[in-house]
């Protein structure tokens, strides 16, 4: 009897992965090729004849290239500063560098709109006040503005990977160069950076893909600048009347093909360099730290970043959220609690808050449960294809996934309910929960599971009574990782929400579209604080479980 | 041999191109313990895991009390095999107390709460760890963990206990102690067991019979004494420990004696102790355990040798002598007269303890 239940559990895991990960993709293919309305290849023809096409493609790749270059330079400099100099407050610098990863790019864009919109952005107001100039110093509604906001947001990803690589480099390799008379910079360029090159390259690929997929920043800042990239074009194709869904589907197919191929390359690169294998065994860390002029320059870079990416945006959001009315002068600014009051009283806010919590919590729970069973089957029963399938959504641009869910569920009873948001969130969370759980399960002694098996326990009981309790700290942190992603989720929600199922990031987006910057700023701050709070809990829990 | 309780026949298993099990067959009697020994990669652990159902063989069958557990690709899941397994790394669940670890299998069997309490307590005191019931695994030593793992396995009264190198993570002293304890426990409970180890001395203590495995097959199975004194191949002789291997050729037979020429010296072997039908002129390897080499004062019968090395040990001394047959190793009990290096002595090979098997040219040993 239980034997059949065992097969049922495995079948359920397969089925849920297929429904969540593969089915939505299958639905956009016929639409994208024009099969659904009988105009075979019409979207392709329209796309190729679109006069905006060269500009859209050029924008998309130019942006991704610029962001990749800038963020890689920044990330490598940060990693060298924190790992290879004796700078003071390196731990604080590390925390500051990590903050932008916690904040969604949407919140970064909101902050930068308040800082640098041409007329009333605080930086431009300050510039005009100080210089008497009539022109703004810098407009955020520009290619440079968009590239800046995204670069600030993705540089930490490069930093983490490269820092990790630097920690794993045997310090003796650099000392050997130093003893041979090599200068710090020479050593870095000849030894350290080449050794970290696999990490740098893989981060560059990752950042490139992330930028290709970015919708929120381009959507908020690119509109006024007339700057359209592929994801933004998909959004416009659906939301600008009359709306051309098949055209959007074709653009989606194109985008997911590009990101899919790049992610395959990315997985090849990190697989080949064995980056993950090195994590954990840190060997000895005999590294000679440098000081002097080099350190001085790096310290300036790091703290400038902290100011530009963290301090200024948070300060601007605070200022904006208390600002009585938007003004282009400092001397008539009035500060009030009215924005916060209006936000917290708004039925839309309460609804969005409740929806965000429900959808985030339920989707995180489901994604953790699936991730747990996927890890179990993939590691203990050697079904690696399950883990691969669960990781696939990493290659899906959020905007394409959201659209795919419309195509899949349009007209079904879950369309327009929280359930469809939950399904879409679960799909997005799966790679993260599975990764977070498979790593600790992999380290478990396989005998733990086999002992249960021999004693007569079937899958359900072994997962719930043995594997899950042993890796419970990873279960909690996987849940928190997923939940925090849920709080920031915009790309999928923007397509799937209705007024009744609105979530907080969409509300921020709507406030920005309406020009209600102050409420958007207040809501962004709430998101930021929620993230910081959850991360603090996660670290606490992590430490507590480690000590038990 | 006792009547067959567990019967393994012609197990074969491949991983891709590699044959990990090649026609493995043996029988296990009720209450018997068979050890599987051999160098790493010989297939002993895979055999054990196939019996437990953690791996499935490609062909061959496994029967327990006449009931088929595995027949070709059809196999009973491990949950339904009523086996017990003790793992190399103990695999005591860290989130449960000792009591809960041991009670796990009983709960699965829907045993009543009071019965669980009683049986777990009894089993823990049998293992001398009654006082540790409320501890968790991180509060236990390696030896204690091993006892918990054993208690967890025995409490559900499995039909066969499978041991997968259970003592290899313990220090030498504890290992020596635990192996006699496991032996006593198995005999006391009349428990059948298959015991995998790479240590042939551990097998000699724990098991009634030992199977030496090599390259996925069983080379020889029998009581430890038979394997040690009458190995049927060079591999088994070398794996079982120190002994003298003398290559020669068969001259003929005299009654039930086989006459062998080794470098001009004539040796006689019992025909029963010859692993093959020795034709005249066939190449043979004569195996002379160290105990069969008797050293005595010069002038006694036998060949003359010169002592080249004396290795003292706790109870026996190992003495090497150069003889016309080559360098021979002998043992002396520490209370005997121990010859000095350089001393000449008479060397006799006790014919009753010599055995022979076919000479294998270019044998590449993988043992040790």
Is A40 a residue whose pLDDT tops 80? no
Contact between A363 and A425 under an 8 Å Cβ cutoff? The reply is yes
Banded model confidence at residue A245, pLDDT cuts 50, 70, 90? confident
Q: Which two structure tokens, joined as six digits, stand for A460?
A: 């359900």
Q: What is the mean pLDDT of residues B58-83?
A: 91
Q: Which two structure tokens, joined as six digits, stand for B2?
A: 């006792």
**Best interface-test mutation with A: which of B45, B51, B95 has the largest number of A CBs within 10 A?**
B95
In angstroms, the CA B85 to CA A34 distance is 60
Q: Dihedral of CA A463/A466/A471/A473: which sign?
A: positive
Range with the poorest average pLDDT among A49-58, A144-153, B58-67: A49-58
Q: What is the mean pLDDT of residues B82-110?
A: 93
pLDDT for A172 = 72
- In percent, the amount of chain B with pLDDT more than 90 equals 53
Average pLDDT, chain B: 89
pLDDT tens sequence across B140-167: 998 999 999 999 999 999 999 999 999 9
Touching A: B residues 152-171, CB under 8 Å: 152, 156, 162
Banded model confidence at residue A277, pLDDT cuts 50, 70, 90? very low
Q: Which DSSP string corresponds to B270-318? A: EGGGBSS---TT-EEEEEEEGGGEEEE-TTSSSEEEEEEEEE--SSEEE
Contact residues, chain A, for B91 at CB < 8 Å: 445, 447-448, 450-451
Contact between A405 and A363 under an 8 Å Cβ cutoff? The reply is no
Q: Which two structure tokens, joined as six digits, stand for A362?
A: 């339920």
CB contacts < 8 A (A, B): 66
Contact between B38 and B233 under an 8 Å Cβ cutoff? The reply is no
Phi then psi for residue A511, to 5 deg, are -60, -40
A140: nearest Cα among A168, A172, A107, A118: A118
A161: three-class secondary structure by DSSP:
helix
- Determine the angle formed by the axes of helices A398-409 and A245-273, rounding to 10 degrees: 130
Beta carbons of B79 and A472 less than 8 Å apart: no
Residues in CB range of A404: below 8 A, 6 or more apart:
A24, A25, A27, A28, A252, A396
Contact between A262 and A183 under an 8 Å Cβ cutoff? The reply is no
Integer CA distances (angstroms), A535 to A108, A204, A365, A477, B181, in order: 18, 26, 17, 9, 51
pLDDT tens sequence across A160-196: 989 988 888 777 777 777 778 777 778 888 888 888 8
pLDDT tens sequence across A357-366: 999 999 999 9
Q: What is the mean pLDDT of residues A55-82?
A: 94
Is A547 a residue whose pLDDT tops 50? no
Banded model confidence at residue B1, pLDDT cuts 50, 70, 90? very low
Contact between A404 and A428 under an 8 Å Cβ cutoff? The reply is no
Contact residues, chain B, for A454 at CB < 8 Å: 52-54, 78-79, 81, 83-85, 162
Higher local confidence (pLDDT), B299 or A274 = B299
Phi-psi domain of A38 (left: phi exceeds 0; alpha: psi -120 through 50; beta: other): left
* Residue A323 DSSP symbol: B
Q: What is the mean pLDDT of residues B75-92?
A: 92
Reported ipTM: 0.84
Integer CA distances (angstroms), B205 to A209, B177, B179, B241, B246, in order: 63, 11, 7, 15, 29
Contact residues, chain B, for A3 at CB < 8 Å: 77, 79-80
pLDDT for A272 = 61
Q: Is B105 on the interface with A (CB under 8 A)?
A: yes
Q: Which two structure tokens, joined as six digits, stand for A67?
A: 């962001």
Contact between A112 and A512 under an 8 Å Cβ cutoff? The reply is no
pLDDT for A286 = 53
Q: Which two structure tokens, joined as six digits, stand for A235?
A: 């959004």
Q: What is the mean pLDDT of residues A321-327?
A: 82
Q: Is B277 on the interface with A (CB under 8 A)?
A: no
**Sheet bearing B303-311, strands edge to edge:** B293-296, B344-349, B303-311, B316-323, B326-333
Banded model confidence at residue A544, pLDDT cuts 50, 70, 90? low
pLDDT for A283 = 47
Is A445 a residue whose pLDDT tops 60? yes
Q: Which DSSP string corresponds to B114-165? A: HHHHHHHHHHHHHTT-GGGTT-BGGGS-HHHHHHHHHHHHHTT--SEEEEES
Residues in CB range of A477: below 8 A, 6 or more apart:
A436, A538, A541, A542
Scanning every residue of chain B, which has its alpha carbon at the shortest distance from the alpha carbon of A459? B79
Is B367 a residue whose pLDDT tops 60? no
Q: What is the mean pLDDT of residues A454-481?
A: 92
B155: nearest Cα among A468, A2, A454, A444: A454
Pick A454's closest partner by Cβ from B52, B88, B89.
B52
Is A276 a residue whose pLDDT tops 60? no
pLDDT for A545 = 57
pLDDT for B366 = 46
Looking at the complex, report in whole angstroms how far the Cα of residue B84 sits from the nearest Cα belonging to chain A: 6
Average pLDDT, chain A: 87
Is B336 a residue whose pLDDT tops 90? no
In angstroms, the CA B219 to CA B24 distance is 10
Looking at the complex, report in whole angstroms how far the Cα of residue A453 sits from the nearest Cα belonging to chain B: 6
In angstroms, the CA A490 to CA A75 distance is 26
Banded model confidence at residue B240, pLDDT cuts 50, 70, 90? confident
Is A34 a residue whose pLDDT tops 80? no
Q: Residue B256, Cα to own-chain centre: how many angstroms?
A: 31
In angstroms, the CA A285 to CA A294 distance is 21
pLDDT tens sequence across A215-228: 999 999 988 888 99
Q: Is B83 on the interface with A (CB under 8 A)?
A: yes
Looking at the complex, report in whole angstroms how far the Cα of residue B154 sits from the nearest Cα belonging to chain A: 10
Looking at the complex, report in whole angstroms how far the Cα of residue B366 sits from the nearest Cα belonging to chain A: 28
Q: What is the mean pLDDT of residues A397-422?
A: 91
Scanning every residue of chain B, which has its alpha carbon at the shortest distance from the alpha carbon of A447? B91
B120: nearest Cα among B141, B148, B93: B148
Residues in CB range of B199: below 8 A, 6 or more apart:
B37, B167, B168
pLDDT for A5 = 83
Q: Report the C-alpha dihedral over residues B328, B331, B336, B340, rounded to 10 degrees.
A: 40
Pick A453's closest partner by Cβ from B54, B89, B162.
B54
Q: Which two structure tokens, joined as six digits, stand for B318?
A: 């190992």
In angstroms, the CA B20 to CA A27 distance is 46
A335: nearest Cα among A348, A326, A344: A326
For strands B293-296 and B326-333, give the pairing.
unpaired
pLDDT for A543 = 67
């Amino acid at each position: 009897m239980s034997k059949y239940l065992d097969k049922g559990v495995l079948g359920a895991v397969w089925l849920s992965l297929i429904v969540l990960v593969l089915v939505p993709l299958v639905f956009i293919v016929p639409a994208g090729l024009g099969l659904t309305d009988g105009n075979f290849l019409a979207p392709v023809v329209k796309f190729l004849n679109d006069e905006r096409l060269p500009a859209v493609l050029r924008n998309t790749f130019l942006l991704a290239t610029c962001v990749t270059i800038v963020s890689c330079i920044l990330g490598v400099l940060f990693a060298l500063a924190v790992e290879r100099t004796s700078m003071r407050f390196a731990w604080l610098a590390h925390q500051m560098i990590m903050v932008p990863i916690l904040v969604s790019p949407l919140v970064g864009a909101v902050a930068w709109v308040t800082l640098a919109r041409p007329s009333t952005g605080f930086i431009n107001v300050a510039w005009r006040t100080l210089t008497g100039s009539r022109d703004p110093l810098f407009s955020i509604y520009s290619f440079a503005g968009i590239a800046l906001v995204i670069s600030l947001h993705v540089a930490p990803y490069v930093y983490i990977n490269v820092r990790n690589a630097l920690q794993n480099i045997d310090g003796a390799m650099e000392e050997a160069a130093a003893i041979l008379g090599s200068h710090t910079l020479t050593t870095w360029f000849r030894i350290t950076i080449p050794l970290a090159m696999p990490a740098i390259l893989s981060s560059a690929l990752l950042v490139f893909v992330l930028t290709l997929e970015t919708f929120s920043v381009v959507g908020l800042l690119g509109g006024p600048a007339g700057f359209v990239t592929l994801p933004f074009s998909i959004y416009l194709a659906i939301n600008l009347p009359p709306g051309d869904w098949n055209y959007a589907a074709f653009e989606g197919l194109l985008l997911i093909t590009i990101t899919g191929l790049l992610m395959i390359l990315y997985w090849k690169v990190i697989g080949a360099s064995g980056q993950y294998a090195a994590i954990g065994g840190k060997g000895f860390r005999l590294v000679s730290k440098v000081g002097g002029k080099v350190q001085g320059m790096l310290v300036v870079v790091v703290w400038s970043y902290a100011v530009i990416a963290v301090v200024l945006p948070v300060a601007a959001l605070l200022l904006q959220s208390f600002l009585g009315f938007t003004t282009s002068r400092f001397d008539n600014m009035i500060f009030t609690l009215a924005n916060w009051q209006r936000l917290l009283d708004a039925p839309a806010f309460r609804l969005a808050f409740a929806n965000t919590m429900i959808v985030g919590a339920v989707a995180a729970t489901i994604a953790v449960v699936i991730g747990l069973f996927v890890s179990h089957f993939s590691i203990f029963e050697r079904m690696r294809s399950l883990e691969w399938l669960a990781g696939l959504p990493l290659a899906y641009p959020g905007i394409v996934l959201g659209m795919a869910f419309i195509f899949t569920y349009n007209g079904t009873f879950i369309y327009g309910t929280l359930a469809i948001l939950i399904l879409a969130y679960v799909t997005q969370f799966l790679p993260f929960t599975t990764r977070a759980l498979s790593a600790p399960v992999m380290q478990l002694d396989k005998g733990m599971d086999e002992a249960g098996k021999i004693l007569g326990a079937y899958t359900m009981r072994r997962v719930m009574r043995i594997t899950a309790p042993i890796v419970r700290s990873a279960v909690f942190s996987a849940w928190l990782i997923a939940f925090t992603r849920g709080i920031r989720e915009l790309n999928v929600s923007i397509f799937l929400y209705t007024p009744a199922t609105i979530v907080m990031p969409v509300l921020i987006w709507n406030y920005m579209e309406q020009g209600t910057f102050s409420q958007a700023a207040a809501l962004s701050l709430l998101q930021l604080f929620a993230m910081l709070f959850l991360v603090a809990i996660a670290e606490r829990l992590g430490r507590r479980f480690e000590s038990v | 041999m006792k009547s067959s309780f567990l019967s393994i026949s012609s197990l074969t298993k491949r991983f891709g191109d590699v044959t990990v099990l090649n026609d493995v067959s043996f029988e296990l009697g009720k209450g018997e313990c068979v050890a599987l020994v051999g160098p790493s990669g010989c297939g002993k652990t895979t055999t054990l895991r196939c019996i437990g159902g953690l791996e499935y063989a490609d062909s061959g069958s496994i029967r327990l009390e006449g009931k088929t557990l595995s027949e070709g690709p059809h196999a009973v899941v491990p949950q339904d095999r009523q086996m017990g397994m003790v793992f190399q790394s103990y695999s005591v669940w860290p989130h449960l107390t000792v009591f809960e670890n041991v009670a796990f299998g009983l709960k699965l069997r829907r045993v009543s709460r009071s019965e669980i309490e009683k049986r777990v307590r009894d089993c823990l005191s049998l293992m001398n760890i009654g006082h540790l019931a409320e501890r968790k695994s991180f509060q236990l030593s390696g030896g204690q963990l091993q006892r918990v793992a054993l208690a967890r396995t025995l409490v559900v009264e499995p039909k066969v206990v499978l041991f997968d190198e259970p003592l290899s993570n313990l220090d030498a002293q504890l290992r020596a102690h635990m192996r006699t304890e496991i032996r006593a426990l198995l005999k006391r409970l009349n428990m059948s067991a298959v015991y995998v180890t790479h240590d042939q001395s551990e097998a000699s203590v724990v098991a009634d019979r030992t199977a030496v495995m090599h390259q996925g097959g069983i080379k020889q199975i029998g009581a430890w004494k038979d394997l040690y004194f009458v190995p049927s191949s060079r591999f088994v002789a070398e794996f079982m420990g120190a002994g003298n291997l003398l290559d020669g050729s068969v001259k003929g037979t005299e009654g039930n004696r086989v006459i062998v020429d080794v470098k001009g010296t004539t040796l006689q072997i019992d025909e029963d102790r010859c692993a093959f039908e020795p034709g005249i002129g066939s190449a043979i390897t004569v195996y002379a355990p160290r105990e069969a080499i008797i050293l005595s004062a010069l002038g006694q019968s036998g060949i003359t040798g010169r002592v080249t090395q004396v290795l003292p040990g706790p109870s026996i001394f190992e003495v090497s002598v150069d003889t016309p047959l080559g360098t021979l190793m002998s043992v002396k009990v520490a209370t005997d007269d121990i010859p000095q290096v350089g001393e000449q002595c008479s060397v006799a090979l006790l014919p009753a303890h010599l055995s022979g098997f076919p000479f294998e040219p270019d044998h590449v040993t993988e043992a040790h």
